[in-house]
A = this chain, B = another copy of it.
């Protein structure tokens, strides 16, 4: 029986894999040979310590080399269900395979709800989900902020202070945010379009020129993937040791909440690998 199945081959899952390997544990790293679409699409990575490469693509290439060097292979697959059995877990994949292991590290990223046309296409090319992560890129620029919940009004406000002009699409009632450079549009945005980067956003029968689009929303609850998994504001609830409410199941990276950053995912991935190792040692 495998010691662990790591679900997700983003940088958080890779961090777990590297440390489990160093700790001599057996595992499957379930994901994609391309590792992570999100990483590949990142335009510029300048706050990940000791990475001088620049683009997400270069980061991805380093990670691939490192996995090869450490003799870790990614198993292509997508988990559709995780089930807690007695003393073990079963993972069902989209490819209809069943894998079993004594522990699970969930590292499959944040699930988004209904997407706007163009949202996925322009992610990392003008579309962002994180004000504090990417806001600084839009100093003196024009942005649209699609705000799905009042809880994110302070993030929208933060963005409006950086950008020259903010078109605010509040998709909730009782919007309070105002500002000289904020134009509120009480309509549903329908489409994001552009070339290499975002250029326009459409709503009703109108269009606006923008340099970026921030979409501030909660993630989809991951309890659809794992029955009985406790979540909080759409993210898997973990403690500082990356433990979830299910004994033997750990979670790392974007799925556990903001900031959606490589560094944070890497840190949690490392902590989870140590936690899994301790768990296995205790429960022989």
> Can you list, as one digit per residue, whether each of A5-28 has a CB less than 8 Å from chain B (1) or not (0)?
000000100110011011110000
Q: How far is the CA of A48 from the CA of B70 in the complex (A)?
A: 12
A136 cross-chain contacts in B, Cβ below 8 A = 22-24
Q: How far is the CA of A154 from the CA of B283 in the complex (A)?
A: 12
**Is A98 part of the contact surface with B, judged by Cβ < 8 Å?**
no
Residue-wise, chain A 263-284 has the 8 Å CB interface mask toward B (1 for contact) of 1111111110010011001100
Chain B residues contacting A18 (CB-CB under 8 Å) are 46-49
* B263 contacts A270, C-beta separation under 8 Å: yes
Contacts of A50 in B (CB 8 A): 11, 48, 50-51, 59, 62-63, 66
In chain A, positions 232-284 with a C-beta closer than 8 Å to chain B are 238-240, 257-259, 261-271, 274, 277-278, 281-282
**CB neighbors of B among A134-170 (8 A):** 135-136, 139, 154, 157-158, 162
Measured as residues with beta carbon below 8 angstroms from the partner, the interface class of chain A is: 35 or more
* In the assembled complex, A114 has its CB within 8 A of some CB on chain B: no
* Proximity string of chain A (25-37) to chain B, C-beta cutoff 8 Å, 1 when within and 0 when not: 0000000000000
Give A202-241 interface residues, CB cut-off 8 Å to B.
238-240
CA distance A66 to B53 in the complex (A): 10
Q: A270–B270 contact, CB under 8 A?
A: no
Complex: chain B residue closest to A276, CB-CB: B132
Residue A52 is within 8 A (CB to CB) of chain B in the complex: yes
A86 on the interface (CB 8 Å rule)?
no
Question: A138 vs B48: C-alpha distance in the bound complex, in angstroms?
Answer: 31
Q: Which of A39-56 contact B (CB under 8 A)?
A: 46-52
CB nearest to A278 among chain B residues: B132
Contact of A281 among B62, B154, B268, B277 (CB under 8 A): B154
Known: A50-B66, A158-B281. 14 other contacts (CB 8 A): A11-B50, A15-B47, A15-B263, A18-B48, A21-B47, A22-B47, A23-B136, A24-B162, A50-B59, A50-B62, A51-B62, A52-B62, A52-B66, A154-B281
7 tightest A-B CB contacts, nearest first:
A267-B267, A263-B270, A18-B47, A259-B274, A50-B62, A19-B47, A22-B47
> What are 28 pairs between A and B in contact, CB < 8 Å?
A15-B47, A18-B47, A19-B261, A21-B47, A22-B46, A23-B135, A46-B70, A49-B63, A49-B266, A49-B269, A50-B50, A50-B59, A50-B62, A50-B66, A51-B62, A52-B66, A52-B69, A154-B282, A240-B257, A258-B274, A259-B270, A259-B271, A263-B269, A264-B271, A265-B267, A266-B267, A267-B268, A267-B270
